A and B are shown apart, each in its own frame.
Chain A
Amino acid sequence: MNSMKNYLTVAALMAATAVAGSLSIGLAQAADISIAIGSEPSTLDPQLRDDGGERAINDNIYETLMARTADGILVPGLAAAAPTQIDATTWEFKLRPDVKFTDGEAFNADSVVRSVERIIDPAFKSEQGSYFGTIASASKVDDLTVHVVTKGPDPILPSRMYWMKMVPTTYSADANFATNPVGTGPYMMAAWDHGQDIILRRNPDYWGEAPSIDQVTYKFIGEPGTRLSSLVAGEVDLITNLLPEFVSSVPNSAAVPGLETSVIVLSTENPSTADVRVRTAMNLAIDRNALANDLFGGYGVPAKGQLVNPKAFGFNTALDVYPYDPAKAAALIKEAGAEGATVTIVGEAGRWLKDRETIEAVGAYWTAVGLKVDFKINEFGEYLNQLFDKAHRPDAIFVQNSDELLDADRPMTSAYESGASYASNNDQEMAKQVQAARVETDTVKRVAMYADITKKAYDGSYLVPLLNLEDIYGFSKRLEWQPRVDSKLLVKEMKAAD
């Protein structure tokens, strides 16, 4: 172990010298960085796929009407100010003047209308469609004013517009658009060497504050171990999804509370989990602090009894973490006559950080309080089939929910509303409450509605919320950056020291 650490130290030293060496050779390239991403994007069309690699790059090329601060607060982006609501279903956006796409085309109301119509067009089959399902149309009022119309009242439309990248009016129909993207953002496409890397260059005419990094190279490195060694060897400056165990072996790292919450959805209908005492016991049996501090090395926080992200709108501050009380859990199971009852837990492996370990750990906790656990670790495709199979709900299914819009609606629709996505309860009253909250435009009332729902689900143990996970990034020594809550890799916020 010691010799291992020594090797790593030596490797890190060598890497540092190598970086220092290359810096002293080419001072002109001092402000160039490379970022490792997991996979090569299949397209750089910003509206087509829902894919992390594509997003990592296009977040720097394209911009959205609304943006978020590093802390997750919604602020105007390409919009001049926060939108105003004209009536229940119409939102008015005033646009920032004098913004241009990097090919010279002006950014104006036409671009917004085109962007909205393009992404909601069913024939376009955008994978991001689920984010924009409520949008009916967009219309130009004048050159810098747009009305976005929703199908019903939609309080989170501003958050949705934070997800929709603005594309140029005419060029977005061009055949080259998917390989040679053109946006309004701080960076523009320089080169795409297929199978190797994608290079972005600073946009000299950017309307905002000029970024300090001139050029960024995205390298496609699929294997986590290889990503780590590239960072240690100084080939890349930034890697994502660093394992907690490796924090000490990289030159520098930073963690930030992320968007992901791990949860186990319990069926309220299946015989083995129908009794609320059994479900409560399943919650009390789990030592979330041990999971967070040991399994995740402290890079996770026990979830506060709900799936809503602590940074998101609708987070219920009145709820607390389910306590760890194995004795009470065992007593509850005995009381319900469920000792030795078989509970099936469905999960997958390899998709999320330490997913398999988490599932096995939870299963062991349940075994310890008297249940018999039947593990079904499925291949991802089969797992998805079971996750969304509305007719046959598993007793328990593991899932990691990512709350990109930072609004309670997404976790509610996913795991609380019966019949909507992967909820396993049959609480029709709660489903109605979720639907009502979705269209409630009064923010105070809406928060109260979500508080009711999360409280009810907490008492009934519809879910076993596990951990709010942190995103861990590995940096090279020369990179300065504060990671963001929304896990976007915005190069304009980074600085590279010489």
Chain B
Amino acid sequence: MAVLEISAPITRPTRLPPIVVELWRDKSGLLGLTIIVLLLLMAIFAPLLAPYDPAVQAVTTRLKPPFWVEGGSMAHLLGTDQLGRDVLSRVIFGARASLLVGTSVVALAGTFGVLLGLFAGYKGGRTDAIIMRLVDIQVAFPGLLLILLIVSVVGPGTTTMIVVLACTNWMIYARLVRGIVLTIRQSAYVEAAEMTGCKPNRVIFKHVLPNLSSPLLTLGILEFTNVVLAEAAMSFLGLGIQPPATSWGLDVANGRDYIFVAWWLITFPGLSIAVTVLSINLFANWLRVTTDPQEREKRFARQKMAERRRSRSPLISKA
């Protein structure tokens, strides 16, 4: 018993809010968040961090390898690209467009899709039929054609691309959400809330929406990766980001032709995409458990079990 009392202060060493303590305990979630924050800082402070202007070219010193490879130099830590631009600086600046487009599209498409899905699932009947037929129509309509239509009218650019990608990606959220809402709607607590006279809006946002957080987080992460890659494809075709700005995906697409002679052109922006997605994934995994009451309970039980095992073992050894 005495041992248990000793262990209590260790779990709460400081007076940090409980949520922070929870995150501190989940090391992989913490690592994910740390990397995300670092990436965001890198994107915001790109002009201070980057050793060169990412658009400045030196055609005569093109395709120089990273410094640790023979022929590379400390002047360009990650080498130079097909026009002699500094790869490190381009990776740092590329974070801006990639993160901006990725998060805005997921946020825009997610919000729109979730709202429609919620109302369709909750109201049912004609509302449901109309909204879901809208989804069907949009799904059936070729995405690339829609993109071409919008871009040819508005003209290419980052904002256009965000809007366009949001327009072609919201349907999957609506479908997912509607399905789950249909099940939740039958649950006892929703019925109870309705019986006590809650207005539909309150039921939807206070009782239904929180239960959607874990599937939505998972979907959002998957979609983020898709969006980053879609952005690359669009920019490569000339429908998105215009030079001298760049993005990770665009640099991967541009470096593709040189893969056999200059692996560093696609490796570093590609790694950046991978690290971003991985860290979001780690963090979101923690967030998913934290926001889901049932999962939280399970995690809490696991932790308690672990603590008990730890505290019991010295006693056993003494006996």
The residues of A with any CB-CB pair to B shorter than 8 Å are 1-2, 4, 8, 224-225, 228, 243, 245-246, 249, 287, 290-291, 294-295, 347-350, 354, 356-357, 359-361, 363-364, 367, 374-383, 385
Contacts and interface: CB of A to CB of B under 8 A. Distances in A.
Interface string B184-228: 000000000000000000000000000000000000000000000
Given A295-B83, A376-B242, 6 more contacts: A225-B257, A245-B260, A294-B84, A295-B82, A360-B243, A379-B156
Contact of B62 (A294, A367, A382): A294
Contacts of B148: 379, 381-382
Contacts of B152: 381-382, 385
Contacts of B239: 379
B261 A287 contact: no
B88 to A, nearest CB: 18
A357 B238 contact: no
Nearest to B245: A375
Contacts of A225: 256-257, 259-260
A295 B62 contact: yes
Contacts of A245: 63, 257-258, 260-262
B244 interface: yes
B62 A1 contact: no
B56 A364 contact: yes
B32 interface: no
Contacts of A8: 260
A340 to B, nearest CB: 16
Given A245-B261, A246-B260, A249-B260, A294 B243 contact: no
A348 B59 contact: no
Interface string B50-77: 0000011101101101000111000000
Interface of B: 55-57, 59-60, 62-63, 65, 69-71, 82-84, 148, 151-152, 156, 236-239, 242-244, 254, 256-263
B238 A383 contact: yes
A4 B71 CA distance: 14
Nearest to A7: B260
Contacts of A361: 57, 59, 83
Contact of B236 (A4, A349, A354): A349
A357 B181 CA distance: 50
Nearest to B61: A294
B57 A360 contact: yes
A377 B238 contact: yes
B70 A1 contact: yes
A243 B257 contact: yes
Given A249-B260, A377-B243, A382-B151, A357 B70 contact: no
A251 to B, nearest CB: 15
A291 B60 CA distance: 8
Contacts of B156: 376-379
A135 to B, nearest CB: 36
24 contacts: A1-B65, A1-B69, A4-B260, A245-B258, A290-B59, A290-B60, A295-B59, A347-B238, A354-B82, A357-B254, A359-B243, A360-B83, A360-B243, A360-B244, A361-B57, A363-B243, A376-B242, A377-B243, A378-B156, A379-B156, A380-B237, A381-B152, A382-B148, A382-B238
A349 B82 CA distance: 15
A459 B82 CA distance: 32
Shortest 8 CB-CB contacts between residues of A and residues of B: A377-B238, A375-B243, A245-B261, A364-B57, A378-B238, A290-B59, A294-B59, A375-B242
Given A4-B260, A295-B83, A377 B242 contact: yes
Contacts of A294: 59-60, 62, 84
A227 to B, nearest CB: 12
A350 B262 CA distance: 19
A379 B262 CA distance: 26
Contacts of A349: 236-238
B257 A224 contact: yes
Contact of A363 (B62, B71, B244): B244
A361 B62 CA distance: 12
B40 to A, nearest CB: 27
Contacts of A376: 156, 238, 242
Contacts of B71: 1
Contact of B238 (A2, A224, A379, A385): A379
A402 B243 CA distance: 26
Contacts of B237: 349-350, 379-380
A291 to B, nearest CB: 6
B260 to A, nearest CB: 6
Contacts of A385: 152
Contacts of B55: 364, 367
A250 to B, nearest CB: 11
B97 to A, nearest CB: 14
Contacts of B238: 347-349, 376-380, 382-383
Contacts of B260: 4, 8, 225, 228, 245-246, 249
A348 B237 CA distance: 8
Contacts of A382: 148, 151-152, 238
A10 to B, nearest CB: 14
Nearest to A363: B243
A249 B259 CA distance: 12
Nearest to B57: A364
Contacts of A246: 260-261
A259 B138 CA distance: 45
A246 B258 CA distance: 9
A324 to B, nearest CB: 12
A349 B59 CA distance: 19
B19 to A, nearest CB: 45
A379 B151 contact: yes
Contacts of B236: 349-350
B254 A356 contact: yes
A294 to B, nearest CB: 5
Contacts of A357: 82-83, 254
Contacts of B256: 225
Contacts of B244: 360, 363-364, 375
Contacts of B59: 287, 290-291, 294-295, 361
A333 to B, nearest CB: 19
Chain A CB within 10 A, most for which of B56, B57, B244, B263: B57
Contacts of A348: 238
